[in-house]
Amino acid sequence: MKEKIRIASGQGFWGDLLDAPYQQVTKGEIDYLVMDYLAEVTMSILQKQKNRNPKHGYARDLPILMKKILPIIVEKKIKVITNGGGVNPVACADAILESAVELGIKEIKIAVVLGDDIKACLDEIVDSGNELNNMETGKSIKTVKDKILSANVYFGAFPIVEALEKDADIVITGRTTDTGLTLAPMIYEFGWKKDDYDLLSLGTVAGHILECGGQSTGGNFLGDWESIENLAEIGFPIAEAYPNGEVIITKHENTGGKVNFDTVAEQLVYEIGDPKEYITPDCVADFTSIKLEDLGNDRVKLFNVKGKPETEFYKVSCSYNDGYSAVGSLTYSWPQALTKAKAADKILRKRLENLNLKFDEIRSEYVGYNATHETLAKEIDEDNINEIVLRFAVRSHDRESVKRFGQEIAPLILTGPPSVTGFSGGRPKPNEVVAYWPALIPKKLVEPKVKLLELK
C-alpha cells in the first residue's frame, strides 16, 4: 500500500481554466488528476448534441486537453478520472484513444463507466411503479414525461474503483458525483471497505473541497479577499491522502492563491443543506464532525470525519423542456440614469401589454443598483451614479411572445428616455428553458457497468 497519494483537481466545472489540468500535471508531483465537468445544465446540452450527432454528447474540450497531457501522464504514471464523458462516455474514450494513437503511445487502458443513463428505460421504470416523484414538489414524473431531455443516475465512487482495479489509466464516466471522483482513488489505493463509513466520509469531504477547483484555494473568497496573492496564476487544490484517515488540502508550490483554514471553510459550506446529512451514493457524511487544522504554508489538515451508511437510493436528475426565455439590456447614463431606466421599463411593459403577449414571468432589474441584493440595496443618490443597466427578462411557454419581446428592446433607443446605449449584440433570441426534475430511484433498479478499452 502506498504511504500517501496526491489527488489533484483539474476542473471545477465545464468552462473552467483550460490550462489548470496542465499545471497540475507539470508543476509538481501528483498521482491522480480528477476533473469535474458536469453541472445539471450540462447534461441536457450534451444530450441535445448527441441527438444531433451520435458521436457527440461529451465534453469535447476533454480529448483536446488529453492530447496535450497524455505524454506527461504516461511518463509520470498519473491516472486521470473524469465525468467528462457526459451522455456518451464511450465516444469520449474513443476520441482519447485516437489521440493516443496519433501521439504514438503504445500502451494505455481507458475504462468507461456506463449505466447511469436511464432515459431509454424510463417507461419501464415508471410502469414498474416507481414514479420518480419530484423531490421538491412530490409530483409524478408522468406530468413531464413527454418533455424529458435527459435522465441520469448519480453513481458514486465504487464503479470507478472497479475500473481502477482493472488497471485503467484513465477512467471516463457519465453522471458520477463530483465527490466520487476524489474518493475513488483513496478506496482503491488504501483498500477501504464499503462499510468504512468514516473513511468514505473523509474522502467525500475531500472531494467536496476539490470539486469546485480554485474555490478552495482563494478564488471567490469572501473573507479578506484582497490578501489572496497572485490569483492570476492560482493553483488548483490537491488532496494529499493518507490511509489512516487524514487528508492534507494543499496546492503546488510556486502557484498563486492560498490554502488556509478560511479558504477551505468557505468551500465546506458551499451548496450544502443539513450538514449532518451530506448524502452521496457512497455514505452519509457528517460535516459537523470535520476538524480542520491550518498547518501553514498552504497546507490544511482534514481529519476526524464521521459518517453513516449510504441510503438505499440513487439520486436521479432528469431535465425537461419548460418553455422559452430571453434577456435584453440597455444602458442609461447620467443624468437621472436610474429614473430613465425605470421609465424605459414602464414603457416596455406597457407595449408588451398592448401587444397581448403571453408571459409566465417578466422581470426587470437595475444593474448598478439592485440586481444582486434586490430589496437590501441601499437608496442611491442619483447625481452620483454614472450609469445604470436595465436588465429585462421574460419567460413564456409561447415562443412567439418571447420572440416578439426581443424585437421590442431596440426601438426603446429611439422611442424612449434619452442618453441610452449598449444595444450592439442584436435582438435577444428565445432560449429553450431546461428545467430539472430531481428524484430518487432504488439502487437495485440500476446497475453500473465498467467497460475497458485498450490500445491494440
Partner 1 sequence: MKIRLRDIAHGRSGDKGDAANVGIIANDAKSYKLINKHITAEIVKKHFEGICFGNVERFELPNINALNFLLHNTLGGGGTVSLKHDAQGKTLAAALLRLEFEVD
Q: Enumerate binding residues for partner 1 (CB under 8 A).
A: 40-41, 136, 215, 220-224, 261-262, 265-276, 287-292, 322, 325, 327, 361, 363, 365, 367, 371-376, 391, 393-395, 433-436, 438
Residue closer to partner 1, measured from CB, 291 or 350: 291
**What one-letter code names the amino acid at 242?**
Y
With residues binned 3-state (H G I as helix, E B as strand, rest as coil), the percentages for the chain, rounded to 5, are 35, 25, 40
Radius of gyration of the chain, Cα coordinates, nearest whole angstrom:
25
β-partners of residue 111 are 171, 452
Residue closer to partner 1, measured from CB, 74 or 144: 144
Find the shortest distance in angstroms from Cβ 192 to partner 1: 23
Cβ neighbours for 376, distance < 8 A, ≥ 6 positions apart: none
Residue closer to partner 1, measured from CB, 271 or 383: 271
Find the shortest distance in angstroms from Cβ 389 to partner 1: 10
Residue closer to partner 1, measured from CB, 30 or 385: 385
Residue closer to partner 1, measured from CB, 270 or 313: 270
Q: Report the C-alpha gap between 315 and 295 in whole angstroms.
A: 36
Q: Report the C-alpha gap between 313 and 401 in whole angstroms.
A: 41
Cβ neighbours for 146, distance < 8 A, ≥ 6 positions apart: none
Cβ neighbours for 442, distance < 8 A, ≥ 6 positions apart: 130, 312, 313, 314
Find the shortest distance in angstroms from Cβ 374 to partner 1: 5
Residue closer to partner 1, measured from CB, 23 or 317: 317
Find the shortest distance in angstroms from Cβ 277 to partner 1: 10
Q: Report the C-alpha gap between 381 and 410 in whole angstroms.
A: 28
Residue closer to partner 1, measured from CB, 378 or 456: 378
Cβ neighbours for 344, distance < 8 A, ≥ 6 positions apart: 330, 332, 390, 412, 416, 417, 420
Q: What is the DSSP letter of 117?
A: B
Find the shortest distance in angstroms from Cβ 291 to partner 1: 6
Find the shortest distance in angstroms from Cβ 172 to partner 1: 25
Q: Report the C-alpha gap between 104 and 98 in whole angstroms.
A: 10
Find the shortest distance in angstroms from Cβ 205 to partner 1: 11
